[in-house]
Chain A
């Protein structure tokens, strides 16, 4: 057998972890979605329930210090799913507990979630105005 010229690059390893863990979180989400659909929830409601469930799980794992351990390996695989957003809210909430409920927990929760909500809502407002005044429904699709 020919020896590999070089070990698998850090980039490939990172991407493999991100793919596996990110895909795994989404598959878990799909499993929950099918479960909620089978329990008779409507499509939109089932989607919201999946988000709430995954956010709760992410909070539990964050509280136990396990989400951070997974994130060290999985990188974007744990950052990009909704669980990563939840972690970005819950992790500083716990970390800054010592600074009090108002300026600690309450304020620090928004370190990352704040900009996400600000620019997400701004983008949705722009799109809503375009849609309201032009009725444009997109290209293709």
Chain B
């Protein structure tokens, strides 16, 4: 059941992005920004947590889940150190993903050939 929900919810979140690409003039960069900010908002409203409980990686792997991670990170940090946590929680929670992306970026740029990637 876990896997089915992960597939369906994850797939549907991507279909929404596809509809935005096909039906509106938004660029992929705007979609990525929109998904992360949207994830923060949905999480703050208390709506995204239940979806993660249901779909697991189906909700946490899409970038909405990255936003959810940021929002949960600030809650944890604010619980710990008050309003100062608003400054630290986001980076703490998203640290693994951002650091891994940058690290692999450097690593694979050393391995890869410089060429047009599109």
- Tally the A-B contacts, defined by beta carbons under 8 Å: 306
Q: Mark A37-65, 1 if CB is under 8 A from B, else 0.
A: 00000000001101110111011101101
* Bound: A140/B9 CA distance, A: 20
Q: Is the CB of B61 within 8 A of A81?
A: yes
B15 is contacted by which of A30, A76, A112, A128 (Cβ under 8 Å)?
A: A76
Query: Which residues in chain B, 1-21, are within 8 Å of chain A measured between CB atoms?
Result: 2-3, 6-21
Q: Mark B10-36, 1 if CB is under 8 A from A, else 0.
A: 111111111111110000110111011
Q: Is the CB of B105 within 8 A of A130?
A: no
Query: Which residues in chain A, 94-134, are within 8 Å of chain B measured between CB atoms?
Result: 94-98, 105-106, 109, 111-113, 115-117, 119-121, 123-125, 127-133
User: Across the interface, which residues of B come within 8 angstroms of A18, CB to CB?
Assistant: 11, 14-15, 17-18
User: Across the interface, which residues of A come within 8 angstroms of B41, CB to CB?
Assistant: 123, 127
User: Across the interface, which residues of A come within 8 angstroms of B37, CB to CB?
Assistant: 119-120, 123
Say yes or no: A23-B10 contact (C-beta < 8 A), given A11-B22, A15-B15, A56-B100: yes
Q: Is the CB of A89 within 8 A of B57?
A: no
Say yes or no: A129-B14 contact (C-beta < 8 A), given A34-B2, A140-B47: no
Is the interface on chain B under 10, 10 to 19, 20 to 34, or 35 or more residues? 35 or more
A88 is contacted by which of B32, B57, B65 (Cβ under 8 Å)?
A: B32
Q: Is the CB of A30 within 8 A of B57?
A: yes
Interface size on A, residues (CB 8 A): 85
* Bound: A97/B106 CA distance, A: 9
* Bound: A59/B104 CA distance, A: 6
Q: Is the CB of A128 within 8 A of B83?
A: yes
Enumerate 25 A-B pairs (CB-CB under 8 Å) in ascending A order.
A19-B14, A21-B14, A22-B10, A26-B11, A29-B56, A30-B57, A55-B100, A75-B17, A76-B15, A79-B32, A82-B66, A82-B97, A84-B32, A90-B109, A97-B114, A112-B32, A123-B67, A124-B74, A124-B89, A125-B87, A127-B86, A128-B83, A132-B83, A133-B83, A140-B46
Task: Name B's A-contacting residues (CB within 8 A).
Answer: 2-3, 6-23, 28-29, 31-33, 35-37, 40-41, 43-47, 49-50, 55-58, 60-63, 65-67, 69-71, 73-75, 77-78, 82-83, 85-87, 89-91, 94, 96-98, 100-102, 104-118
